[in-house]
């Protein structure tokens, strides 16, 4: 498993479907990049407005709660900027509209590194299914990185808005069943758990979650903690 680090990116963009996804999928890695001095930003496609079983809850109220939770969680990781696209939770589609929205953010923020979900995952060993929004955001993000953001004749109106084409150098795909790269996040697990604890509407037992995160990331051979990715180094 490759773990030799890439040169520290100046700008990192995490693109995910729901509030709490950036923290669950790659919270240690984002905390590590932010602590090292990278400018990290998140795009969150939905505001998680279906994630409650409380009888009194409405989607509008839940969206506001979850955006505030995500903003606080990102801040705990050292990430000052979260862009919410406000697509409906549970109904995210790999549409050209979503691709344009992501292309616009990539051209605006100009990240060398983009981190997103693996769009190929329908289920995981051990009996859990992947959320369709996670697949959709992964696929739309990959498509926006290549070829759309790179080639200037895609969405030529962006050029008129002052947004030049942009070539992303690295993609780290989280939650992949075939990871080829890992990042040592041992010094950032505490920060990740602190960030996750901000999602109060979703998490009832933070102690249990803390144990789960440590167990999931731990390498028994050296007692260090790692997050795993499929890394793509863009040649084009
Ligand atoms: Zn999610």
Distance from residue 17's CA to the centre of ligand 1 (Å): 6
pLDDT of residue 235: 85
Interval 192-208 mean pLDDT: 95
Interval 180-208 mean pLDDT: 96
Does residue 4 lie in a domain region? Answer: no
Residue 172 has φ and ψ, to the nearest 5°, of: -110, 120
Interval 191-214 mean pLDDT: 95
Distance from residue 170's CA to the centre of ligand 1 (Å): 23
Distance from residue 134's CA to the centre of ligand 1 (Å): 6
Does residue 75 lie in a domain region? Answer: yes
pLDDT of residue 125: 83
CB 70 within 8 A of CB 40: no
CB environment 79-88: b (16+ within 10 A), e (fewer): beebbbbebe
Angle made by CA atoms 8, 110, 225, in degrees to the nearest 5: 35
Distance from residue 51's CA to the centre of ligand 1 (Å): 10
Distance from residue 114's CA to the centre of ligand 1 (Å): 17
- Residue 5: pLDDT over 90: no
For 55-70, how does the pLDDT look when each residue is reduced to its tens digit (9 = 90+)? Answer: 999 999 999 999 999 9
Q: Can you give the pTM of this predicted structure?
A: 0.96
- Residue 231: pLDDT over 90: yes
Distance from residue 119's CA to the centre of ligand 1 (Å): 13
DSSP assignments along 133-185, one per residue: HHHHHHHHHHHIIIIITT-TTSSTHHHHTT-------EEEEET-SS--EEEE-
For 152-171, how does the pLDDT look when each residue is reduced to its tens digit (9 = 90+)? Answer: 999 999 999 999 999 999 99
Nearest to 228 by CA among 171, 169, 170, 180: 180
Q: In this prediction, what percent of the chain has a pLDDT beyond 70?
A: 100
- Residue 236: pLDDT over 70: no
Does residue 48 lie in a domain region? Answer: yes
Does residue 191 lie in a domain region? Answer: yes
Does residue 15 lie in a domain region? Answer: yes
Does residue 175 lie in a domain region? Answer: yes
Q: Which of 53-57, 83-87, 96-100 has the lowest mean pLDDT?
A: 53-57
Tell me if the bond preceding 147 is cis, omega within 30° of 0: yes
Name, in order, each residue with C-beta under 8 angstroms of 190's C-beta and a sequence gap of 6 or more.
none
Residues of the domain holding 109: 11-233
Report CA-CA distances (Å) from 90 to 51, 54, 104, 133: 9, 17, 23, 6
Structure tokens at 172: 């780290």
- Round to whole Å and give the CA distance between 192 and 89: 24
pLDDT of residue 104: 98
Q: Per the structure, how many domains does the chain have? A: 1
Structure tokens at 217: 């990331």
**CATH code of residue 80:** 3.40.50.10320
What count of other Cβ atoms lies within 10 Å of the Cβ of residue 31?
A: 25
Distance from residue 175's CA to the centre of ligand 1 (Å): 11
Does residue 6 lie in a domain region? Answer: no
For 104-152, how does the pLDDT look when each residue is reduced to its tens digit (9 = 90+)? Answer: 999 999 999 999 999 999 998 888 999 999 999 999 999 999 999 999 9
For 21-43, how does the pLDDT look when each residue is reduced to its tens digit (9 = 90+)? Answer: 999 999 999 999 999 999 999 99
Tell me the helices (H) and strands (E) count for the chain, helix number first. Answer: 7, 10
For 141-153, how does the pLDDT look when each residue is reduced to its tens digit (9 = 90+)? Answer: 999 999 999 999 9
Distance from residue 91's CA to the centre of ligand 1 (Å): 12
E runs forming strands in the chain: 11-16, 39-46, 81-87, 113-117, 123-124, 128-129, 170-174, 181-184, 218-219, 224-233
Distance from residue 219's CA to the centre of ligand 1 (Å): 25
Does residue 3 lie in a domain region? Answer: no
Half-sphere exposure of 184 (CA within 13 A, CB side): 9
């Amino acid at each position: 498993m490759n773990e030799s680090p890439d040169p520290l990116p100046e700008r990192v963009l995490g693109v995910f479907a729901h509030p709490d996804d950036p923290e669950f999928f790659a919270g240690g890695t984002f905390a590590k990049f932010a602590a090292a001095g990278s400018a990290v930003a998140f795009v969150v496609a939905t505001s998680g407005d279906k994630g409650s079983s409380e009888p009194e809850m409405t989607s509008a109220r839940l969206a506001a709660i979850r955006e505030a939770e995500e903003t606080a969680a990102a801040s705990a990781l050292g990430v000052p900027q979260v862009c919410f696209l406000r697509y409906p939770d549970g109904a995210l589609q790999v549409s050209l509209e979503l691709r344009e929205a992501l292309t616009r953010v990539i051209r605006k923020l100009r990240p060398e590194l983009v981190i997103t979900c693996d769009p190929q995952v329908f289920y995981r060993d051990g009996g859990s299914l992947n959320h369709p929004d996670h697949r959709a955001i992964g696929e739309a993000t990959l498509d926006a990185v290549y070829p759309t953001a790179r080639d200037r004749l895609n969405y030529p109106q962006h050029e008129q808005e002052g947004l030049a084409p942009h070539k992303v150098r690295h993609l780290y795909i989280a939650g992949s069943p075939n990871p080829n790269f890992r990042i040592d996040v041992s010094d950032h697990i505490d920060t990740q758990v602190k960030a996750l604890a901000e999602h109060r509407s979703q998490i009832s037992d933070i102690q249990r979650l803390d144990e789960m995160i440590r167990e999931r990331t731990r390498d028994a051979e050296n007692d260090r903690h790692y997050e795993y990715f499929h890394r793509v180094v863009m040649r084009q």
